[in-house]
């Protein structure tokens, strides 16, 4: 989803939900969580027909090992 947002190619909410293979309802829940928990500046731009970040950035969620080699 982050890549689609950065490329400004998510499409409408319905299209994005289909691309992610989730319901629109789950899409809205997920977007609300990103906004509230991770402070992601995501908004829908009707002119571009895509979700966009209001400021340049990316979402990075993952696991980083703390093992020292």
Q: Show me where the domains of the chain are located.
A: 2-53
pLDDT at 63: 72
Residue 14 pLDDT greater than 90, yes or no: yes
Paired tokens of 37? 């928990």
Element (H, E) at 30: helix 24-38
40: exposed, middle or buried (C-beta count within 10 Å: 0-12, 13-18, 19+)? buried
pLDDT at 61: 80
pLDDT in tens, 33-59: 999 998 999 999 999 999 999 999 988
Paired tokens of 17? 């939900």
Paired tokens of 27? 């899409």
Q: pLDDT band for position 60 (50/70/90)?
A: confident
pLDDT at 69: 63
pLDDT at 68: 73
The 10 Å Cβ neighbour count of residue 42 is 18
């Amino acid at each position: 989803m982050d890549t689609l947002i950065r490329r400004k190619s998510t499409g409408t909410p319905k299209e994005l939900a289909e691309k992610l293979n989730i319901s629109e309802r789950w899409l809205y829940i997920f977007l609300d969580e990103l906004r509230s928990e991770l402070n992601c500046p995501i908004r829908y731009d009707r002119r571009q027909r895509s979700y966009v970040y209001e400021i340049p950035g990316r979402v990075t969620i993952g696991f980083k090992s703390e093992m020292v080699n």
